[in-house]
């Protein structure tokens, strides 16, 4: 039984990972500030689900309510539990919200992230896995996105903080030998998802007969990736720490690897679809047609995303495979059940 700290444990991905780890019999320490960026009732429901699973599994669960910016709280947790593996899924999320409230991103995604790495350094953590984002590819239009490509042109503050996380983690990996793995998530969706993301927004509006805002006139393409596939990728990386690439060429550096124990991987479905097609599948599963408000693209957004997945597949023998049709069917079923909606 390993001691694994999961930050953002009440979040969409964090809760799902905690459940996966508990089912594997691990000692999971959950950490989340339960902030009000979106409905805290949903976060608390996720935590109750985790408790239910922990009571039926061989794993152990302990939860702490605090923020990464709170250094003393982090110190107490590391002193009391000495986690061997740390998975950072805590962050201020949302591209558009970063335009409205930039200070929240600086505090959580930069100050908080650095605080966490300091504790990893002081307590000899053997594996640090952290959430990056496909948004780091920014203005790049060379699809599919590949980890060896430069990510120097972010188009949102959120993306900038995720790129900064990768750089900070590399510094700690080089200076202190902490194995660090960054995972660039591509448009995660599924049951227990975030209310500020398109699937939840669309489902709520469609079922209430309200129009949905469809940006870039529906022509945007996203590499929608089902939650179970994301979790499986993170889970496998927990048990394979990054190590030094002995073939790293400092004269022609590869962005995805290093002379330090550091790696960066995409996690995406590699099958981008147009937003209008996503809406069509969701309409079919909900049995209701949407009212579309076609609009131009928003600031901070990108037109298309697509993940090249060979690096992660070679690393942990896994790549996402859930089709958009199956994923939306599962999401719609959960949504109707969770919100007690009959159609």
Domains of the chain: 3-188+226-269+306-322 (3.40.50.720)
What count of other Cβ atoms lies within 10 Å of the Cβ of residue 1?
11
Taking residues 169-182, what's their average pLDDT? 98
| pLDDT of 151 above 90 | yes
Catalytic sites, residue numbers: 158
Residue whose C-alpha is closest to residue 135's, from 307, 310, 318: 307
pLDDT of residue 323: 97
Q: What is the mean pLDDT of the chain?
A: 95
Among the listed ranges 171-180, 213-222, 233-242, which one has the minimum average pLDDT value?
Answer: 213-222
How confident is the model over 9-55, as pLDDT tens digits? 999 999 999 999 999 999 999 999 999 888 899 999 999 999 999 99
pLDDT at 65: 97
How open is the CA angle 74-76-80, to the nearest 5 degrees? Answer: 120
- What pLDDT, on a 0 to 100 scale, did the predictor assign at position 37? 85
CB atoms closer than 10 angstroms to residue 73:
17
Q: How many CB atoms lie within 10 A of CB 291?
A: 11
pLDDT grade, residue 95 (50/70/90)?
low
User: What average pLDDT does the segment 64-68 reach?
Assistant: 97
SS3 183: strand
pLDDT score for 92: 75
Find out whether 59 and 23 touch, Cβ atoms under 8 Å: yes
**Residue 94 scores a pLDDT above 80:** no
- pLDDT at site 96: 67
Q: Which of 103-112, 162-171, 198-207 has the lowest mean pLDDT?
A: 103-112
Tokens representing residue 60 in the block? 């152990």
pLDDT of residue 66: 97
Is residue 154 within 8 A of residue 99, CB to CB? The reply is no
Query: Quick one: average pLDDT of 124-131?
Result: 97
User: What's the pLDDT at 105?
Assistant: 86
The answer to whether 86 touches 2, Cβ cutoff 8 Å, is no
Backbone angles phi, psi at 289, to 5 degrees: -80, 145
Distance (Å) of CA 194 to CA 167, 224, 280, 304: 27, 14, 20, 21
3-class secondary-structure state, position 104 = helix
Q: What is the pLDDT of residue 57?
A: 93
Contact predicate 128/52, CB 8 Å: no
**Which positions ≥6 away from 143 have C-beta within 8 Å?**
272, 304, 305, 306
* CA atoms of 215 and 107, how far apart (whole Å): 29
Report whether pLDDT(178) > 70: yes
Q: 15 φ, ψ to 5°?
A: -65, -40
pLDDT tens, 197-230? 999 999 999 999 999 999 999 889 999 999 999 9
- Helix, strand counts (H, E) of the chain: 12, 13
Per DSSP, 155 falls in state S
Average pLDDT on 124-145 reads 95
């Amino acid at each position: 039984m390993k001691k694994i700290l999961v930050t953002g444990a009440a979040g969409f991905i964090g809760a799902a990972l905690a459940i996966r780890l508990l089912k594997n019999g691990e000692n999971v320490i959950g950490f989340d500030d339960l902030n009000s960026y979106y409905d805290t009732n949903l976060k608390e429901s996720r935590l109750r689900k985790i408790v239910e699973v922990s009571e039926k599994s061989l794993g152990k669960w302990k939860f702490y309510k605090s923020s990464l910016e709170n250094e003393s709280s982090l110190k107490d947790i590391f002193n009391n539990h000495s986690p061997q593996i740390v998975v950072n899924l805590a962050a201020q999320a949302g591209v558009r919200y970063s335009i409205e409230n930039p200070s929240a991103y600086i505090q959580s995604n930069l100050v908080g992230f650095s605080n966490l790495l300091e504790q990893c350094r002081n307590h000899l953590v053997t594996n640090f896995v952290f959430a990056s984002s496909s948004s780091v590819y920014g203005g790049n239009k060379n699809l599919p996105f590949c980890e060896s490509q430069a990510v120097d042109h972010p188009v949102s503050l959120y993306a900038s903080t995720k790129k900064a996380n990768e750089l900070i983690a590399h510094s700690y990996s080089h200076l202190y030998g902490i194995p660090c793995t960054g995972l660039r998530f591509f448009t995660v969706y599924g049951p227990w998802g975030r209310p500020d993301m398109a699937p939840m927004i669309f489902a709520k509006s469609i079922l209430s007969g309200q129009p949905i805002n469809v940006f870039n006139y529906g022509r945007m393409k996203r590499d929608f990736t089902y939650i179970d596939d994301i979790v499986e990728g993170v889970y496998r990386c927990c048990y394979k720490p990054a190590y030094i690439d002995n073939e790293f060429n400092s004269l022609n550096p590869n962005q995805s690897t290093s002379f330090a124990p550091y790696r960066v991987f995409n996690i995406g479905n590699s099958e981008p679809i147009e937003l209008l097609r996503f809406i069509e599948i969701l309409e079919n599963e909900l049995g209701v047609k949407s009212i579309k408000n076609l609009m131009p693209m928003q600031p901070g957004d990108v037109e298309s995303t697509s993940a090249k997945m060979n690096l992660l597949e070679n690393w942990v023998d896994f790549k996402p495979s859930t089709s958009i049709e199956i994923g939306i069917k599962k999401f719609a079923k959960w949504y109707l059940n969770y919100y007690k909606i009959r159609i």
